[in-house]
Amino acid sequence: MNVKILKNKNLILLISILIFLAAGSYMIFFKEEKVMPLTKSWEIAIPNQKTPAGLVDLSAKNCGTCHVNHYNEWKQSTHANAWTDMQFQAELKKESSPFMCINCHIPLQNQQEYIVTGLVGGDIYKPVKVKNEAFDRTLQQEGITCSSCHVRDGHIVGPTGTSLAPHPVKKAPAMLDEKLCISCHNATAVITPTLACTFETGDEWKRGPFYGKKNCISCHMPEVEREIVMGYPKRKSHYHTFAGSGIPKHDTLTAPMLNGYGFYPEKVALNTTLDKPINYTLRIKNEFAGHRVPSGDPERFVLVNYQLLNSKNEVVVKKQYRIGEEWQWYPVAKKISDNNMDPGEERLYEFNSKVTEKGTYKLKVEVTKHRMTDETAAYNKLDKTYPKFISVYEKSYDFVVK
Ligand code: HEC
Ligand code: HEC
Ligand code: HEC
Ligand code: HEC
Ligand code: HEC
């Protein structure tokens, strides 16, 4: 009997302790796991948009039934493939990729399966999600689609507010200026120790020589006089291919290209003697880009390759220069070096080598623009056919060494 009471007493004590601990840890838990609001622009999608009156849906395909040129041009752009891109999909699937990756790649909420309302304990890997009733999977495939830039509050946002359109139009040129581009093309944030988001194209442009003269739109969406819908009067229009580096992806094999660099080979002496080196200099100037080249994604780089071949076509000397950034990602993300070329900057890339035998030699010069290294491609399990680089300058010279 006594024993039982004692047991009961112990039990009551034990239960009290347990309740105390549970309440305590609940309070700690509650404190730590408080839902925090989203604060950064790229943590928030553009709120669900309604289809403007007169249109069937928000899709680019539908806009394309009338705006045929705009649609065909946009189709070739990387914007159209910002979601379907194999590299993006591979990276997105990694556990280290937080929820907000999608906000610049499928920026409309209608393209997103869930609405994120906050972060548990402020942790970017613990978004609070609710199902999005307006989710449209077809629209998701279109990446940065027409509606991302042009649809707001039941209107088409345009530069003139034309009354000729079958859909409501709101004149808002300020919404369609370079700030729109910079909202995605300039983000510098260390998100986690091993994840840094570094696109500084906007800042590079602001400190460069083109600021106030040319902007993202004048260079990347050049003006053209044309009908924007067949049968309507010609007016000022803009190409929508968003030509950039021109390094294609699987589904943008016809990606239109811009070149930032001007290439100027210095004069060469093609006849030389054994005691003198074979000498050649390529002057490269970042002449046409309003920002550094490469810009944006830190994985981009440019190689200047030299190969000297003898008369048997054997490579006797190789030389390579790299223009780009180098990053360490583990244990903390840190930029190790950066020799991207500033706008207006020029550099000399020299080949200088003696040979040991007389004869004829061929010097091959090639400049290649790279999306990423072979290692990164393999790490992301991109198949061998995924385009990783393009050649932007090729020349060869025949030297006679006596
Ligand atoms: C049924 C045909 C049709 C469809 C579909 C259509 N548009 Fe239009 N749109 C027009 C016509 C017509 C004009 C006026 C042409 C003119 O002013 O020369 C126009 C004008 C515009 C303008 C210029 C507005 C301005 O301020 O000058 C924009 C931008 C635009 N449309 C975007 C879109 C987008 C984005 C979509 C799809 C979400 C779309 N349109 C769907 C026919 C269409
Ligand atoms: C990344 C943003 C972006 C996307 C995506 C985009 N546009 Fe535009 N669009 C613009 C900007 C910026 C302008 C205005 C340029 C100016 O007037 O300075 C414009 C202008 C237009 C105009 C007015 C005429 C002209 O060419 O200037 C039409 C029509 C138009 N866009 C249709 C479309 C259609 C259709 C799509 C999809 C197939 C599309 N846009 C995708 C940014 C975009
Ligand atoms: C909603 C975010 C967003 C907006 C707004 C946006 N971009 Fe982009 N842009 C991207 C993303 C993401 C990519 C890369 C897509 C990919 O590689 O899959 C890209 C790619 C590009 C490229 C191609 C880069 C290359 O590989 O060469 C150019 C050029 C470009 N954008 C210019 C512009 C211009 C000009 C504007 C403004 C009119 C603009 N962008 C607005 C997100 C955006
Ligand atoms: C004076 C013209 C000019 C201006 C202004 C300009 N760009 Fe560019 N941009 C270029 C050229 C040329 C290239 C191609 C560089 C190369 O790969 O050789 C380029 C390349 C790019 C790329 C691909 C970068 C890479 O390394 O592959 C992106 C993204 C881009 N521009 C976005 C922008 C944005 C955003 C702005 C506005 C802040 C802008 N550009 C302003 C001319 C310009
Ligand atoms: C602030 C907007 C923004 C956010 C957030 C963002 N991206 Fe991007 N992403 C871009 C832009 C802009 C480009 C094009 C860069 C360029 O070409 O210079 C791009 C390009 C890419 C590319 C193509 C790279 C290439 O070489 O063409 C991949 C892959 C990618 N992003 C993955 C991601 C992942 C994964 C996340 C989340 C960790 C993410 N992005 C978050 C804006 C963003």
Count other Cβ atoms within 10 Å, centred on residue 205: 26
Lowest mean pLDDT among 33-37, 68-72, 112-116: 33-37
Smallest CA separation from ligand 2 atom 38, residue: 71
Structure tokens at 156: 């088409």
pLDDT of the residue at 252: 62
Q: Confidence band (pLDDT; 50, 70, 90) for 193? A: confident
CA 346 / ligand 5 centre spacing (Å): 28
Smallest CA separation from ligand 4 atom 20, residue: 244
Best probe residue, ligand 3, of 43, 79, 392 (max atoms within 8 Å of C-beta): 79
Q: What is the mean pLDDT of residues 80-97?
A: 90
Tell whether the model's pLDDT for residue 39 goes beyond 60: yes
Q: Which amino acid is at 207?
A: R
pLDDT of the residue at 4: 43
C-alpha–C-alpha distance, residues 213 and 215, integer Å = 7
Strands (E), 292-345: 301-309, 315-328, 334-338
Smallest CA separation from ligand 4 atom 24, residue: 295
Smallest CA separation from ligand 4 atom 21, residue: 244
CA 93 / ligand 3 centre spacing (Å): 21
Q: Confidence band (pLDDT; 50, 70, 90) for 42? A: confident
Tell whether the model's pLDDT for residue 3 goes beyond 50: no
CB 305 within 8 A of CB 396: no
Smallest CA separation from ligand 1 atom 20, residue: 165
The pLDDT tens digits for 14-38 are 555 555 555 545 444 545 578 888 8
Q: Cis omega before residue 294 (within 30°)?
A: yes
The pLDDT tens digits for 203-230 are 999 999 999 999 999 999 999 999 999 9
Map out the domains of the chain with their CATH numbers: 41-177 (no CATH), 261-401 (2.60.40.2550)
Instruction: Give the three-class secondary structure for 207.
Output: helix
Q: Cis omega before residue 265 (within 30°)?
A: no
3-state helix, strand, coil in the chain (%, to 5): 30, 30, 40
C-alpha–C-alpha distance, residues 178 and 208, integer Å = 15
pLDDT of the residue at 2: 41
Extract long-range pairs of 201-207: CB within 8 Å, 24+ residues apart: 201/291, 201/295, 201/296, 202/178, 204/291, 204/292, 204/295, 204/342, 204/343, 205/178, 205/290, 205/291, 205/343
- Of 262 and 382, the structure prediction assigns the larger pLDDT to 262
C-alpha–C-alpha distance, residues 103 and 108, integer Å = 8
Instruction: Give the three-class secondary structure for 386.
Output: coil
pLDDT of the residue at 381: 87
CA 246 / ligand 1 centre spacing (Å): 28
Is the C-beta atom of 258 inside 6 A of ligand 3? no
Count other Cβ atoms within 10 Å, centred on residue 52: 22
pLDDT of the residue at 13: 53
Ligand 2 shell residues, CB under 6 Å: 60, 63-64, 67, 70-71, 74, 79, 144, 146, 148-150, 158-159, 176, 180, 217, 221, 228, 237-238, 240
pLDDT of the residue at 5: 40
The pLDDT tens digits for 240-284 are 999 999 998 876 667 788 999 999 999 999 999 999 999 999 999
pLDDT of the residue at 1: 36
C-alpha–C-alpha distance, residues 84 and 102, integer Å = 12
Say which DSSP state 56 is in: S
